[in-house]
């Protein structure tokens, strides 16, 4: 069975975009792959975090994954920070990565342009991401379009290492969903809906109440036209609403267009709001049952035990090949 690895950084509240672009795909694939799901909390500290809030969000992330339908019997779920081999391998990979290729990462450029003080961690975190992937010999990494570049970096590093030291790492493939990989902000529909956004006006959080959800969707920015059809270039706001509806109803964009072709914008927004409220209400009920339960800790303990054994073996192999440690092969 092929192995697949995915994670969602706990640097903000999980959103509708997180659900559609990541979690739903994980649920659909959990019967077809050996699935590893991790909370990459080390990535979160590339910017300063409130320690109490970060721990709360880590637990909330896991509870929400489970509430959304991620099956702990079909997925290995773990915290990145509870496996120190991620950091071990990341340093080795940094020493096999060139400044030029690291500096070309577009997410670093985008984030750096908005901050006066940029940490080294923000620059090197794509290499830690490569370690996250290569440590477990993942065959596939589900990513949004904006993250594909990071998987390509992991591939480049792995190929270079294999060529230099012999076959060590499996070369991963990015897995990009055909639809729904990128849900846009309701107020700025040319910008991705982000869990790290300072303002949540255009962002639907998975734990938003029904009234808040309806208000955000009914206030979604559209255009001056009156016809409903899918055109992400000229009608990004409408295209975004149609994408949300089609993903949550599990129907195609063309079917969604046909259904809404006689609707006005207000009626479209109302139906989109209805399906979002219905979907998130079920998730929130399950979340409230899980968040304070011991079940979460049992699941994470199991994930920590399994992944540390796998990671230790891989790092020992890497160290042997590059000459680290006192005894080769031990």
> How far apart are alpha carbons 148 and 245 in whole angstroms?
25
**Options 74, 111, 227, 321, the catalytic residue:** 111
111 included as an active-site residue: yes
Catalytic residue among 9, 182, 192, 216: 192
Q: Collapsing DSSP states into helix, strand and coil, what is residue 173?
A: strand
Helix axes 85-94, 120-134, angle to 10 degrees: 110
Is 201 known to be catalytic?
A: no
H or E, element range at 6: strand 3-7
Catalytic residue among 9, 60, 195, 216: 195
Would you call 148 a catalytic residue per the annotation?
Answer: no
Nearest partner of 273 among 223, 222, 212, 224, judged by Cα: 212
Q: Which of 217, 304, 312 is nearest to 265 (CA)?
A: 217
| Distance (Å, whole) CA 122 – CA 47 | 8
List, by residue number, the catalytic residues. 111, 192, 195
């Amino acid at each position: 069975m092929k192995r697949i690895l995915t994670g969602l950084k706990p640097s903000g509240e999980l959103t509708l975009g997180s659900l559609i672009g990541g979690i739903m795909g994980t649920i659909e694939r959990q019967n077809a792959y050996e699935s590893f799901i991790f909370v990459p909390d080390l990535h979160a500290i590339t910017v300063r975090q409130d320690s109490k809030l970060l721990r709360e969000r880590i637990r909330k992330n896991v509870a929400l994954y489970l509430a959304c339908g991620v099956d702990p019997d079909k997925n290995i779920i773990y915290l990145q920070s509870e496996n120190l081999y991620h950091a071990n391998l990341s340093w080795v990979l940094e020493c096999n990565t060139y400044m030029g290729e690291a500096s070309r990462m577009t997410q670093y450029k985008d984030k750096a342009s908005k901050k006066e003080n940029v940490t080294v961690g923000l620059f090197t975190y794509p290499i830690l991401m490569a370690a996250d992937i290569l440590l477990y010999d993942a065959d596939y990494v589900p990513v949004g379009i904006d993250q594909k570049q990071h998987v390509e970096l992991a591939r480049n590093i792995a190929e270079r290492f294999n060529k230099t030291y012999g076959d060590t790492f499996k070369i991963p493939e990015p897995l990009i969903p055909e639809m729904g990989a990128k849900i846009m902000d309701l107020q700025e529909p040319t910008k991705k809906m982000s869990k790290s956004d300072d303002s949540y006006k255009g962002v639907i959080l998975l734990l938003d109440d029904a009234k808040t959800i309806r208000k955000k969707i009914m206030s979604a920015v559209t255009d001056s036209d009156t016809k409903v059809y899918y055109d992400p270039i000229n009608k990004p706001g409408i295209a975004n609403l149609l994408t949300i509806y089609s993903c949550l109803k599990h129907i195609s964009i063309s079917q969604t267009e046909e259904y809404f072709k006689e609707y006005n914008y207000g009626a479209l927004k109302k139906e989109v709001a209805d399906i979002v409220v219905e979907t998130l209400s079920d998730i929130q009920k399950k979340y409230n049952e899980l968040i304070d339960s011991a079940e979460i800790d049992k699941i994470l303990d199991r994930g920590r035990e399994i992944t540390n054994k796998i990671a230790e073996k891989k790092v020992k192999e890497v160290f042997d090949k590059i000459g680290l440690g006192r005894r080769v092969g031990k």
